[in-house]
Structure 1
Amino acid sequence: MTMNQLDAASLRKTWDREVHDFRTTCQGKSTTREWDLNRPDAKRQELPARLGDDDPRCGPASLQKFAGEDLTVGERTAAQMEQCKAWWDEQTAAKKQQKQQEQEEKFELGATIRGLDSLQCSLMSVEAAARAELARQITAANAELRQLQAAKRDAERQQELQAKLAELEAAKADPWLNEDPQQAASAMSPARVRKDHWKGMSAAQREAIAQEQLGQVLARRAAAAQAAAEEAAAAAEQHRVHKAVMQQAQAADDFRRKQAAAAAEVLRRQVEEKAARDAQIKETYANKVSDSYFKQFGTSHR
């Protein structure tokens, strides 16, 4: 394409654009002679058939005046719409406020539940510490009892050993058990021994044996009394430790029950308060329309 052709095409486009702009601005439909007949808003430009009760155009044959006609229906409808809109806005604001209040109550309830969870965790920690302390005390008491029992067994073994040694010494010193030849000496001759003779004892020997037996009985009684006293002391100590441990466990259980009861009371009171607020809000914003609202329509006429 040559330069002349390009210039001609450019001039043609410029001319077409100017013609279009001129037709758009200066040769619109509103400038034609038939515009009054063809304009789409012709009815809107005309006067209404009736401007009011004093309109001179409205004669008896115009059929524009009727008995009981309400000329303020438009204004009243607009006022009613405005009133309904105000009610709707008020209800929307109330619902928004109620929703916000419910959100705040949920947040407070969540905070309360988190506090209760924290309290429960602390109570569980206290209970675990109490149980650990109880286990430690029981372990210490058992160790002490084992030491007492071991000492008791050592003392019993020592007493038994002493008794056996004493029995051996008594057996060694007993002339009857040692077959003293003097006991079997014959009356006819000290050099003779009669096998059928009884090796009797003298009064002093019998008294010594009786004293020895009495000493053994007293020693056994003393050992039994000491063992009984040691067992009673061990039982009393074990009972004291068990009682102290049970008191600590009971105190922990009482504290936990009190905290659980207090938490349950708080939750119950919050539930009752929320139920009362919900019932009041439901009754306040029930949006019920009474009969007086409908009876007000069509009550006025000319």
Structure 2
Amino acid sequence: MQDPQNGATGAVEAAPLHILDAPACHLGEGPTYDPASDKAWWFDIVGRRLFEKSSASPDVRVHELPMMASQLCTVDDKTQVIATENGLHVRDVATGRLTHHTALEADETDTRSNDGRVHPSGALWIGTMGRKAEAGRGSIYWFRGGELRRLYAQITIPNAICFSPDGTVGYFADTARGDIHRVSLDPETGLPAGEPSVFVPAGAFAGGPDGAVTDAEGNVWNARWGAGRLEVFTPDGRHLRSLSVPARQPSCPAFTGRHLDQLLVTTAYEGMDEAERAGDPNAGRTFIVQAGVRGVAEPRLRLTP
């Protein structure tokens, strides 16, 4: 039965979870997991921090950054690329050294990177937005082999970027507008092969659509900013599950762990005053949720042609 207040089918589940021993994030974002190194990575965008955690240890390592960053891509065992307010930078895994690689809206000093994910073809989709979430200042770009293309413009807060396991479908949202879109893709390149259509309409569920990831069956797991939950949709847009998150502003999920059967979920205390933070004590904390399903490994970024 459908809940008329939030569009959800059935009860909200309280899946087993635990809170990582890591500093609370002003704006947690961009979780990803590299199976080869058994390392999960995520960011505090506003706090200019990159977090690193092995599933074999409870310890979380914090890397201070010289700039705001939002997305990490693995290139090979020694090399990563991070999307930042100043463009795409190559990161040396051993030393943390950053080297500028590709400009991203270099002439727009009041924009920064936001949500992104790597397509099975090795292409990165990365969103940009105004630093103050100015209406229509953002875009979504495609990057692979040194080539950068703008796919969609006039976006306020790009989010929910993820792909079907076979690479034939892409998803994205503008949180400010509220709907999630679906678009057919060329699986060999990750480029659109048609026009986007509405996958989940605005207002159908509580909260705004934030980050998303697909599982091995192609279901879309979407963090709902302001609603303290994850909503799960089948590839044809049917609502499947609702999972509670004990923080009001979950921002992005990613499958993690040796068996890719856990969800690392970032959250934020962005925009909260002192009273609101007191009423939401887990705001900004990072969770490991026992999802009961398996995801797929994040592809590696193709950096060279």
Q: Tell which structure's C-alpha radius of gyration is larger.
A: 1
Bigger share in helix: 1
TM-score, with structure 2 as normaliser: 0.13
Query: Which structure's relative contact order is higher, taking Cα pairs within 8 Å and 6+ residues apart?
Result: 1
Q: Which has the higher strand share?
A: 2
